[in-house]
Chain A
Amino acid sequence: MVSQALIKDFEALLGKENVLTSVADLQSYSYDSAVLTPVTPAMVIRPGTTEHLGQCVKKLYDEGIPMTVRGAGTNLSGGTIPDSTDTVVILTNGLNRILEINVNDLYAVVEPGVVTADFAAAVARKNLFYPPDPGSQAVSTIGGNISENAGGLRGLKYGVTKDYLMGIEFFDATGELVKSGSRTVKCVTGYNLPGMMVQAEGTLGVISQAILKLVPPPRASRALVAVFDELQNAAEAVAGIIAAHVVPCTLEFLDNNTIVRVDDFTKAGLPREAAAMLLIEVDGHPAQVEDDAAAVERVLRANKASEVLVPRDAAEKFKLWEARRMALPVLARCRPTTVLEDATVPRSQIPAMMKAINEIARKYRLEMGTFGHAGDGNLHPTFLCDRRDHDEFQRVEEAIDELFDTAIKLQGTLSGEHGIGTAKAKWMEKETSRGTILFSQRLRRALDPKGLLNATKLVGI
């Protein structure tokens, strides 16, 4: 429990409106987007300046109080769920200023609570481009994106959040300010701490500022949609596109059940018999885009696509892309609980992974829909279930075990972009090694001797 005196101290520092202690308020910070049991924190604080943020961290460290940093709370692995009822949640949405967008040197400096989509829009207004586009970008924050190394649809060509983090400032567990990286493309001053803070899930420090790389926007883009009767053909088409030295900015995949469910809902006349649909977009210089689109179309036809659609304009593309946009919303409407996984395999293993997913669904008598980023092997096998049905939910948990086993066997990974949090911590060793767990724990203990930063997340401390 936090003492009355401590509450008063924080109120004096941050103002009463930025210190939440009522049960109703606390309960609204007990969950995130992961399907996990909520934990109600002891207090929630919202610093409005980075100086205040540092003072909060130091105070909590001095008092030995555990802390969990929270942006929008859209985490899918439980990273922002408090570790215990003694935890203090530190909100970053009071730190939401874009400090600089530099059009000459192609970088931006932001506070951690800046919303990803707002940032991307501000950058676009300066005719520049910030590519990472996680599904939650309308609300997710840059701090959360860094801590989870958020991906999105553009991963294959443009990379993920880690590819855009040039520099970082953060407070370590004791409240000391750490700065690493720079506004320059090259910087080898000291350890590469931005690299360490990416996907650290709030376990190594509290981010206070980030320098992000920006790129020139593509001048043109073209979209294509292909329908396949055989999964294998779709997978070979994906491999064929890469082999033709075309790197699409988007290469998305929908499985049969997702197509059927979306068609049920939208009545858009999708190919209900198709084994898979691919949605592809190439971008870049107009001439290159023409060449790439033609090459992609050739590869699709050569790999027995039963249908290839080339939208003529933005409106037509918007319509064809609806199937992808509606995939998760539609699947989420089918049943009360939606468990969205992100097991990822090397692209060439997608047919094997899809075969295994379908077998797992049959074996555990569960409905699944799978869609995702075929270009980078990052699938989203989605379980449609009802968490209140204990028998069914147990089967979901067993199915997830088997899903991860399969992903690891296929030389893939537990998580492409959702993080480990508490949801996947138990499988960490299986994918990595005992030594990896020990190394990570020793690293944490050295940096956070009291074990206060998101203690139960990742490998535990």
Chain B
Amino acid sequence: MNSLSQLARRLMALDDKIVACMRCGLCQAVCPMFGASGYEADVARGKLALINNLAHEMIQDPEAVADKLGRCLLCGSCQASCPPGVHIMDIFVEAREVVNAYLGLHPVKKMVFRTLLPKPGLFNFAMRVGATMQGCVFRKSKDAQGTVCAPMLDFMLGDRHMRPLAKKPLHARYGSISEARRPGGLRVAFYPGCMGDKMYVDMAEACLKVLRHHEVAVFMPAGLACCGIPALSSGDADGMLRQMQVNLDLLNPVAFDYLVTPCGSCTATIKEYWPRYASRLDEAAAERAARVAAKTMDINAFLVDVLKVQAVEPAANATKVTFHDSCHLKKSLGISSQPRTLIGANSAYTLQEMAEADRCCGCGGSFNLFHYDYSRKIGQRKRDNVAASGAEVVATGCPACMMQLEDVLSHNQDNVRVKHPIEIYAESL
């Protein structure tokens, strides 16, 4: 694709979807990016207008449009509250892909999405090297969240307070898991996600502990790749396809009753994007992706809806915990009661709702990498709501949100720990 009119023609495929926007502007009320910047081009209505203008060749500057499209967390808040129900996320993801095909992918992204992430062996090796070396550059932030910061890498990592890479990632601790199904029992494929595998290993281990407690046989093949959402968000469908292919080869749906993940973003990607994009690979992949997607569940929902875990009365001196709804969990998958039930299953905790519990935390995956200033600003509002709740723990069902919450809480020197609901539940077993 080399000419602007070709770019426009490809975008015109989105015309029927875009025209559904009645420009009511109600997306302004829920958009975290607009909340932080106040620019119309940052809200869905503005972006849809720009994509429309590029499609109709009313703007000749695809780079500027790409830049605006990148200023979005893909949190889906706009779509969830859009009066005419515009398929905003589909439009944004497809437009990013089309514009990206015209402008070309950044070389670093190309290396990461097409070489590193589709080759789990290489990716794991790189992360192991990183985990060994990180001690040289990271300094403990001395906070309740146990994050580190890297003043020497300020130019690269900014002022981030982040969870260090695990010394021994999940796959190195367990290798391949393939437990036999107990008679009459369930067998699930456990997909830890990159962050569950490499950063929040305690959380991933809590998942395994819980599954074991419920006598569910676990299948976790070695060599699982990234789910593909970072690539897709960056407009690199090709990279996403490569990563998905690796996973599909390992995940034969005959081998399990459910596929569970502790990451809302992975769940949403596997359920929604895998079947849609797998048709670009081949028929076999499309069929397998559809079957895997149908069996995929968020682990909170699996425990509550399938295993029927129930809440109990909190103890008298229970720890106050508040819950943050991850965008993928609540807005993409409609899961909001199950993680709360799971928290309630541990009598040592009592749930204290915060204001705006389902407002985006500001992480947005790669958004955080490219727009850290806005990410922090959006995160601060979430932090203020967490702090105002008076909770000692904030729980959330997505490791990316966990990372963001730890960063903003650490910067505010709050004595609030961040946990996944599964960790809270696992503590009670």
List the interface of chain A (C-beta within 8 A of B): 20, 22-25, 27-33, 38, 46, 72-74, 91, 93-94, 115, 117, 136, 138-139, 328-329, 332-333, 336-338, 386-388
Asked if B84 and A28 make an inter-chain contact with CB atoms under 8 angstroms apart, the answer reads: no
Q: Is the CB of A20 within 8 A of B84?
A: no
Contacts of A46 in B (CB 8 A): 38
Known: A25-B41, A27-B58, A94-B38. A73 touches B25 (CB 8 A): yes
Q: In the complex, how many angstroms separate the beta carbon of A198 from the nearest chain B beta carbon?
A: 22
A73 touches B40 (CB 8 A): yes
Bound CA span A34–B429, Å: 58
- Type the 1/0 row for B9-23, where 1 means its CB is closer than 8 Å to any CB of A: 000000010011011
Does B146 lie at the interface of the complex (its beta carbon under 8 Å from any beta carbon of A)?
no
**Do residues B23 and A31 form an inter-chain contact, with CB atoms below 8 A?**
yes
CB–CB A139/B53 < 8 A? no
Query: Pick the contact of B28 from A139, A329, A338 — CB < 8 Å?
Result: A139
Contacts of A328 in B (CB 8 A): 83
Which residue of chain A has its CB nearest to the CB of B41? Answer: A28
Question: If the complex has contacts A27-B49, A329-B85, A332-B84, are A138 and B29 also in contact, measured as CB distance less than 8 A?
Answer: yes
The smallest beta-carbon distance between B52 and chain A, in angstroms, is 10
A73–B25 alpha-carbon span in the complex (Å):
7
Look across to chain A and name the residue whose beta carbon is closest to the beta carbon of B38.
A93
Known: A24-B50, A31-B49, A94-B38. A74 touches B19 (CB 8 A): no
Name the B residues within 8 Å of A117 (CB-CB). 29
- Which residues between 362 and 402 of chain B lie within 8 Å of chain A, taking CB atoms? none
Report Cα–Cα, A337/B16, bound state, in Å: 11
Please provide the 9 A-B residue pairs with the shortest distance between their CB atoms, ordered closest to farther: A332-B84, A28-B46, A24-B64, A329-B83, A138-B29, A28-B41, A28-B40, A139-B28, A336-B19
Contact (Cβ within 8 A) A23 B83: no
Which residues of chain B are within 8 angstroms of A387 by Cβ–Cβ distance? 19
CB of B26 within 8 A of CB of A136, answer yes
The reply on B59 being an interface residue by CB < 8 A is yes
Contact A33–B61 (Cβ < 8 Å) = no
Interface residues on B, range: 20 to 34
Inter-chain contacts of A29 with B (CB < 8 A): 40
> Contact between B50 and A28 (Cβ–Cβ < 8 Å)?
yes
A27-B49, A73-B40 given. 13 additional CB < 8 A pairs?
A20-B39, A23-B61, A24-B59, A27-B50, A27-B59, A29-B40, A32-B25, A33-B25, A136-B24, A329-B84, A329-B85, A332-B83, A336-B19
Contact status B85-A333, CB under 8 Å? yes
- Contacts of A32 on B, CB cut-off 8 Å? 23, 25
Q: Which of B49, B61, B67 lies at the interface centre, i.e. has the most chain A CB atoms within 10 A of its CB?
A: B49
Task: Closest B residue to A117 by CB, please name it.
Answer: B29
Does the CB pair A336–B39 fall under 8 Å?
Answer: no
The closest CB in chain A to the CB of B53 belongs to A27
Q: How far is the CA of A30 from the CA of B59 in the complex (A)?
A: 13
Residues of B within 8 A of A27 (CB): 49-50, 53, 58-59
- Asked whether A25 and B39 contact (CB < 8 A) given A139-B26, A332-B83, A336-B20, the answer is yes
Chain A residues within 8 Å of B25, by CB? 32-33, 72-74, 136, 139
Interface string of B96-131 (1 = CB under 8 A from A): 000000000000000000000000000000000000
Bound complex: CA A24 to CA B60 (Å): 10
Inside 8 A of A74's CB, which chain B residues have their CB? 24-26
B65 at the interface (CB under 8 A from A): yes
Nearest CB to that of A387 among chain B residues? B19
8 Å CB interface, B394-413 against A? none
- Chain B nearest CB from A15 CB (Å) reads 13
Beta-carbon nearest neighbor of A135 in chain B: B24
Contact present for A24 and B83 (CB under 8 Å) = no
Complex interface: chain B residues within 8 A of A329 (CB): 83-85
List the A side residues contacting B38 at CB < 8 Å: 46, 91, 93-94
* The one of B19, B22, B67 that contacts A388, using a Cβ cutoff of 8 Å: B19
**Binary contact readout B23-37 vs A (1 if CB under 8 angstroms, 0 otherwise):** 111101100000000
A332 touches B50 (CB 8 A): no
Residues from chain A with a CB closer than 8 A to the CB of B85 are 329, 333
Chain A CB within 8 A of B68 CB: yes
Residue numbers in B under 8 Å from A72 (CB-CB): 25, 28
